[in-house]
Amino acid sequence: MNTQDMKKLVEKYTYEQIDACIKQQLAKGENECNVVDSMNEVIESLSKASVIREMMDSGIKFSDALRELGRRIRAVYGKEEGDPGK
């Protein structure tokens, strides 16, 4: 999902609504947030939106929340791959 679509998603739905969409997607293969793609892509996009929305609810701007999510993802992949620079 591109950045503009992600921003629209997190501005349109609350954290609770996005969480409900994740559960709907897992249970029914569709969701009320109207995110359509392969199952994995939908879950990935909604999960990212959930984290960003939660940060925004705590007062962080979208752009800063998106950067923080990216930092967290890189940190996880760095640890999983045994990055010698860490």
The answer to whether 17 and 23 have CB atoms below 8 angstroms apart is no
Q: Token pair of 20, please? A: 């409900």
Give pLDDT tens digits along the chain (86 positions).
899 999 999 999 999 999 999 999 999 999 999 999 999 999 999 999 999 999 999 999 999 999 999 999 999 988 765 555 54
Cα separation of 79 and 14, whole Å? 31
What is the pTM assigned to this prediction?
A: 0.84
Distance CA 41, CA 48 (A): 11
